[in-house]
Structure 1
């Protein structure tokens, strides 16, 4: 029994690291966007588009890192499009986000059909379990470099939002657009830039899906991770560092089903695979009226008004 529990825990550790990485990038992108007072529900489409572009670029160039860069550029383009449309008068950012989600997913499916069968070069993982003789632990500690990149991005973003003039401008725009305008800040420009950078991060998250885990391009790749990232940001109370912790929690929840299956537990397999979605629902209910979330929420968000 103890060996089975250890196997499950190791599998959940590996799953948490792998599954959390795209969550992390999308959540950090959404966290930055919401810090400026805008919600981008289109990041699901950006994630899928990033996955397709990364796979296509890796296939044609032979370099998965060029694929990651191409995914970020594609995500930036969708983010800039979202930001530009939302900058128009009397435009609802939530409605635009839903439209952009459908647009991004549809575009990725249309242009991605030729890349469903071919095999593209994948991102190599770092074998951090070299010191152990445990095969399961070695497998769990095959960590993709993008995981560490995401942690660095979170730390840099958290520091910049607290300690730089740029961070002060973003937070001011997110808390009070009239105050920002009174200071001579272009609210639309700041939100356009943050939405563009947020799209870049979401595109990189998509690259992880197609070039690392699960490591292929198909039309069911995302499974709603872009939308769940919005709940993750609320749960993290708009903190980049807490987004990393929340992403690991979501990743561990997503790894429950495969972990139990690895020791032969198949009863209720599909229920355990639904754990991330159940967790999302619980978080949304738990934080919908929480006073601490209301206190940390940027004042310009539509949900705060």
Structure 2
């Protein structure tokens, strides 16, 4: 294989991998952006992601409808978000501690109910082929795009526009920046945060269903590999901007696809190191963006990490 052909293959594999791998990051980070914009942190989205993957896969297996599985996964995520939101409004409760507890609860519940779904094969989500015009198999494979990725991009644009230009966006931002100001305006702070946390959980559940119903496309207990927690870090890197979350999710997705892309042209030495690229990238990004002047630039004022 020539150097040019090898480089093209790697780039196409990373492009395809960026789209596939970034989709769960995208949904979780958009959900967490909305939650944090209301003034609350939800570290429990890793558990929501895993339970969404299990519940979506189980629903698809029993009903034969992967899209119904996506919806059930989202509703389960909204239930987890509602529980998190209810607990966080109790007096003297820390949202970070509750998030860690919800993460353990969600993963444990998914492992308990999901044991019987490790072997069976459930119907998977379809993909949209945008590369049928090409004779290059690498390009055709790279342009196999799942509708959830397109939906995630649309959601990022709508969320970015809505937070800046709509009444509900103003209410969410006011609640997240100053609870006293929101109360003075007659806004029910607890209700806004509860709804925002539920919506964030709904998005995370959908992200989990993508893992089990499209890529990798099966249910196993190690399916998430910490993607929910990395997506929360991604929100800080993106400065609570939904469009920046989309770009950062693609970056994380490309990093996650680096190992398989190199393997596709026969480079297998250091494979496990390249598989660790997303985790290394998370660490480097957090270090690079942790200067005192800009580490919390753009952060909602009511977040516990800003106080």
Q: Which residue of 2 aligns with 1:81?
A: 83
**Once the 2 structures are TM-superposed, how far is the Cα of residue 293 of structure 1 from its aligned partner?**
4.5
Q: Are 2:14 and 1:19 aligned?
A: no
Matched with 1:260 is: 262
Note the aligned Cα RMSD (angstroms).
0.8
Spell out, residue by residue over 1:159-179, the C-alpha distance to the aligned partner (whole angstroms, 9 max, x if none).
Answer: 111111110010001101111
Q: Does 1:193 align with 2:218?
A: no
Write the mapping of 1:135-284 to structure 2, written as runs, cut at 5 A: 135-284=137-286
CA distance in 1, matches of 2:206, 2:52: 6
What's the offset of the Cα at 1:291?
2.9
Q: For the residues of structure 2 that align with 1:84 and 1:153, how far apart are their CA atoms?
A: 26
TM-score (norm 2): 0.98
SS of the equivalent of 1:90 reads coil
- Aligned equivalents of 2:186 and 2:85: distance in 1? 20
Alpha-carbon distance in 2 for matches of 1:261, 1:254? 13
Equivalent in the alignment of 2:92 = 90
Q: Aligned equivalents of 1:17 and 1:164: distance in 2?
A: 29
Instruction: Select 1:62's aligned residue among 54, 61, 64.
Output: 64
1:246-274 deviation line (CA, Å, top 9, x unaligned): 00000000000000011110111111100
Aligned length in residues:
305
DSSP-derived class of the 1:70 partner: helix
Q: In structure 2, what is the equivalent of residue 127 of structure 1? A: 129
- Cα distance in structure 2, aligned partners of 1:39 and 1:253: 26
Other structure's SS at 1:220 match: coil
Which stretch shows the higher mean deviation, 276-285 or 194-203? 276-285
Partner of 2:296: 294
What stretches of structure 2 of length at least 5 have no aligned partner? Answer: none
What is the rounded CA distance, in whole Å, between the counterparts of 2:276 and 2:149 in structure 1?
23
**Deviation, structure 1 residue 44:** 0.2
1:108-154 superposed Cα distances (whole Å, 9 cap, x missing partner): 00001111111110000001111111001111111000000001111
TM-score normalised to structure 1 length = 0.99
Rounded Cα–Cα distance in structure 1 between residues aligned with 2:39 and 2:267: 45
Give 1:303 shift.
Answer: 1.4
CA distance in 2, matches of 1:74, 1:112: 14
Q: What is the alpha-carbon distance in structure 1 between the residues aligned to residue 94 and residue 282 of structure 2? A: 24
Distance in 1 (CA, whole Å) between partners of 2:156 and 2:89 is 27
- 1:288, CA displacement in angstroms? 2.0
The offset of 1:290, in angstroms, is 5.3
1:106-117 aligned at under 5 Å gives the runs 106-117=108-119
- 1:149 and 1:110 mapped to 2: Cα distance? 31
